Amino acid sequence: MHSVKRERATAKVREERRRREGGKIVEYKALVDKVLSSRNNHDYTPDALSLTTTLLKQNPEYYTVWNYRREILSSIFQTQTADTIQSQIDSELQFLFARLIEFPKCYWIWNHRKWCLQSSPSPSWKFELGLVTKMLDRDARNFHGWHYRRYVVQCTEKATGKSMVRPEFDYTTTKINANFSNFSAWHNRTKLIPRLLKEEPEIDARKLLENEIYLITQAIYTDPDDQSVWLYHRWLVTSDDIVKLSSDERKDLLEKEIKSIQELLEVEPDSKWCLQSLAFYKGLLATLTGERVESSVHGYLDKLQEIDPMRKNRYQDWKKQL
């Protein structure tokens, strides 16, 4: 009949695979040897460049080879006009884009891209922003992407003389609404808010703080297990970079948030982050008021030792310091 029943992977098939892979390993090692000896011989020819291309396609984590590639390119650029350098860089950027799609979290690829833009006679920051936006659409939690985005925004601002704080702030809002479990988006927000307040003095900083607390509280109640939202909450409550609160105002804020988290703790009695945050905020409150730390904090730390036994000693230490 013309149908074929599914075959189980036979020992023969597995052996066949091993043989093929063994061959590939031998090939790879030979390539590495070639590239490294080429470098030792200070070979900066286009042939050497294409050797590194082959190797980096297979293993972009080999940062020595990226260094070598930059040495080759720098040497080649010395004898070229700006136009030629630009087109060389452009093809380099294309090469990097393909690598990024395959390995979006490799430090060395992002790093090399940065180097290319720094060596470029006329870098297109607009294109770079578009690229990093696409990468973050694919994976909003890629911190390499966010870091690179900050770099691109900084360079754009320098080149145009215009601040990008407002659109970048709105961008973090979009990303957070799509998925608030995102350390990088919240972190970026902490960098942007102080600048935003400085650049748009008509914004009521207190109102903004109130809005941010409203926002983060929604997130905390939606998913109290997500660490990133608690970190942002802590920044909002303790930072001096949003509003310079007086001691009394800080106390009021702490008390309000403590109450809010306590309500959450009532429905989620085993929430690690609720307990930790309450212990921390109550401790902070005690420092501000000069009073003793509430006894409930001891209770929280005991409970934490129970539910998070891996960090038992840390909580014990904490208790001692109270």
Partner 1 sequence: MATTTTSAAESTETCDVLIYGTGLVESVVAAALAWQGTNVLHIDSNPYYGGSWAALNLDELKAWTDRVNDSASNNTPFSDAYLYISRNLDPRKYAIDLSPHILFTRSDLLNLLIKSRVSRYLEFKPLGSFHTFEQDSFEKVPGTKEDIFTSQTLTLLTKRSLMRFMKFVIDWEQNSSIWQEYKDEPISKFLEERFGLDAPQIVELVHSIGLLPTPKAPTELALGAIKRYLTSMQVYGNFPAMYSMYGTGGELAQGFCRSAAVAGAVYRLGTKLIGFDEATSEAELDSGEKIKVTEKIISSEGVIAGDEEITRMVAVVEKDCKEWFAEGESAAVVVFPVDTLDGNRYAVQVLVMGSGSGQCPSGQAIWYLSTQESGEQGRKYLYVALEKLEETILRESTEDFEFDVNEEEISYLPNGLPVISSVRLGESLRNFSPKESLKYLLKLTYSQKVTVSPIEPTADSKVIYTIAPSIDLAFEGIVDQAKGLYELVTGTTDDFFDVDFEDEDDDATATAAAADTDIRDVAQDKDDDVVGHHSDFEEVAGEMTI
Which residues are near partner 1 by CB under 8 A? 1-7, 13, 16, 177-180, 207, 210-211, 213-215, 217-219, 221-224, 263-264, 267-268
Nearer Cβ to partner 1, position 2 or 320?
2
R_g of the chain computed on alpha carbons: 27
Q: Which of 94, 133, 137 is nearest to 112 (CA)?
A: 94
Find out whether 163 and 197 touch, Cβ atoms under 8 Å.
no
Nearer Cβ to partner 1, position 121 or 269?
269
| Minimum CB distance to partner 1, residue 126 (Å) | 26
Nearer Cβ to partner 1, position 18 or 320?
18
CA distance to 118, 145, 224, 256, per residue, from 173 (Å): 30, 17, 19, 24
Q: What angle do CA 51, 54, 59 make, to 5 degrees?
A: 120
| Minimum CB distance to partner 1, residue 225 (Å) | 9
| Minimum CB distance to partner 1, residue 282 (Å) | 21
210-245 exposure pattern, b = at least 16 Cβ within 10 A, e = fewer: eebbebbbebbeeebebebbbbbbbbbbeeeebbeb
Extract the tokens encoding 228.
């990133």
Nearer Cβ to partner 1, position 5 or 158?
5
| Minimum CB distance to partner 1, residue 231 (Å) | 17
Nearer Cβ to partner 1, position 55 or 197?
197
Nearer Cβ to partner 1, position 7 or 248?
7
Nearer Cβ to partner 1, position 109 or 236?
236
| Minimum CB distance to partner 1, residue 171 (Å) | 16
| Minimum CB distance to partner 1, residue 238 (Å) | 20
| Minimum CB distance to partner 1, residue 262 (Å) | 13
CA distance to 188, 220, 224, 241, per residue, from 277 (Å): 22, 12, 11, 20
Phi, psi (degrees; rounded to nearest 5) at 68: -60, -45
Distance CA 225, CA 61 (A): 33
Hey, CA dihedral for 188, 192, 193, 194, is it positive or negative? positive
